[in-house]
Structure 1
Amino acid sequence: MRMMIMAMTLAVLLVACGEQKKDVKDTVFAPQVKALEKARSVEGTLKQGAEKERKAIESSENSSDKSGSAGY
């Protein structure tokens, strides 16, 4: 029994001190990781475009309000 506990302890220590973690890009998930990074980049670009459009709409609404026309 004592020998079994020693063997299990040694096995746990060896596994814990074993191989370092691999980078995700070195695994089978590399294509998915690249796709996710690209999607995040595109999302940022779309958000910037939407913000520019929103500001343009607000500025056109403000300028039409200042001109005094009802807009109809």
Structure 2
Amino acid sequence: MVWNSFNHSHPRVRWAAINAIGQLSTDLGPDLQNQYHQRVLPALAAAMDDFQNPRVQAHAASAVLNFSENCAPEILAP
């Protein structure tokens, strides 16, 4: 459900999806990072390119920080 919300047309829905990933990264790390890094990192990177919605951009950058806290370096390298 969270993945579908990353592409929603309304910025508040996208912001909420990013918020959920940031919180889940903190709560479920490092298991979440190990299992879902191929999906999470590209989705957050795409959200940081949302220049029409700076709050979404900023929140995506914050979620990347949350995600990377419990992440092994080899997961972040690509």
TM-score for the superposition, normalised by structure 2: 0.27
Compare relative contact order (CA 8 Å, sep 6+) and give the higher one, 1 or 2.
2
Tell me the TM-score normalized by structure 1: 0.29
